[in-house]
Each structure stands twice: as structure tokens, then as C-alpha cells.
Amino acid sequence: MKLLLRPITTTTSSIAPPLRPLLVRRSYATHHDLGKKPAATRRRAVTPFNDTGFVPWSELSIAEKASRATQQSFNFGLVVVGVVLTGGVGYFLYQDVFSPDSKTAYFNRAVDRIKKDPACLAVLGDAKKITAHGEETANKWRRARPIASTLKTDAQGNDHLVMHFYVEGQLNNGVVNVHLVRRAGHHEFEYKYLFVDVKGHQRIYLENADAKASSGDSKKFRLFGVNWN
């Protein structure tokens, strides 16, 4: 009896392709490469417009040192100008607003006097509804309206502060006139007059130095050319 052996056949598609070795490229330092130094980066030239102070003074050229000195001098000048302007504004605000002898201070005092005077209240109305302001302007904010005033010194060295402003009340509106005098050698102003004019009403005097002087003179009598109390 004979056995029949069939040959085993294989297809090429079932055989995996051989693996290819991976190529790894490595770099090694050589004596030639170790001798090289990195190229130095070139910085920008320092000018008065781009100097940040990062570059040390010792590394600056003569022209760059002059540029830095110019920039620093300009910055210092700006600081000085700012300080002077700030001081000027502060002095102006103190003299015109915060000083006890400023026109704003006397304006506020005069308004307070008017709001406490019975004769003024009878003509203007409730004190809480009385407002005061300066000259009429396009600005609707009344406190921003300027107060008309003049400050002059006479031949005797006396300072005269004259101002006028407006008051508006529940019943009527009026105009206030103030004249203050600071005698030579004195530090405070004194009232020469303070009065309120309301249309259709008699002038209301809150201060009248001339009337006081005349009333004082009426109490004196003359004898042998001498004034006697």
C-alpha cells in the first residue's frame, strides 16, 4: 500500500516582510567644534529716545554717555517743572479759596450773614432756599460762576476788597455789594459796607461803617474848636 504525500504550498502574501534596522544618527563633539565661541550679539546704539538704563555706564561710548546724560537732564527738568506748577496751583488755591482772607471766604461769610438777617429773610424768603452765585455765564453750575471782585491798595497803604454777587430766594432775587478794608499794618479786613438791593424794596444794610462814624460824630460837640465826647 502506497501513501500519497501532498506538497505543502505557501503563499508569499502570508510572509511578513523583513524588518529594516532603524538608522540613528548621533552627533559627536570634535576638537574643532570645542574651540569655537558663540558669536556676540550686537546691541542697539543708546540714544536719548531709546535708553532704558539697561546697558551699564562703563560699556557706553562717549556719544552714548552724552545721550544718557541728556535724557536724564530732560527728565529732571520735567520733574522740576511739575513741582513748580503743582506748587503754583496749590498757592493759588490757598490764596483764592482756602485762606481765611480769600474772597471766597468772605463771600461765604456774607452769604451766612444774609441767611441769618431777619430783614433779608423777610424779603428773600426761607433761608434754606436762598442761593448765592457770581456773574451770569453759560455755565449752569452756579458754584462755577465767577465772583466779581477787585483788590486795590490806596495811597495810605490800605487794602480795599470790593465784590458783588447775586442771591436768589423763594420770594425775590437781589444783588449783594461788599466793601472790605484792611488797614496798613493790620492782618484782617474790616467791613466798610455790606448791603443787599432787592428790586421794589429799600436797601438792606448789614454793615455800614460810614453810618456808624456819622452817628458817633453826632454824639460829640465842639467847644473852642475841640471835639468833646
CATH of residue 169: 3.10.450.320
Do 194 and 205 meet the contact criterion of CB atoms below 8 Å apart?
yes
Residues 130 and 147 in one domain: yes
What confidence tens digit (pLDDT) does each residue in 14-39 have?
555 555 555 555 555 555 555 555 54
44 in any annotated domain: no
207 or 48, greater pLDDT: 207
Whole-model pTM? Answer: 0.55
What is the C-alpha to C-alpha distance for residues 173 and 200, in angstroms, rounded to an integer? 11
Most trustworthy range by pLDDT among 61-75, 139-153, 156-170:
156-170
Asked if residue 10 belongs to a domain, the reply is no
| Amino acid type, 174 | G
* DSSP structure class, residue 227: E
Q: Classify residue 144: in a domain, yes or no.
A: yes
Whether 142 and 161 share a structural domain: yes
Residue 147: helix, strand or coil by DSSP? coil
Amino acid 174: pLDDT: 95
Domain of residue 195 covers 103-220
Share of the chain above pLDDT 70, in %: 65
CA-based end-to-end distance of the chain = 180
Whether 215 and 115 map to the same domain: the answer is: yes
In angstroms, the CA 116 to CA 127 distance is: 7
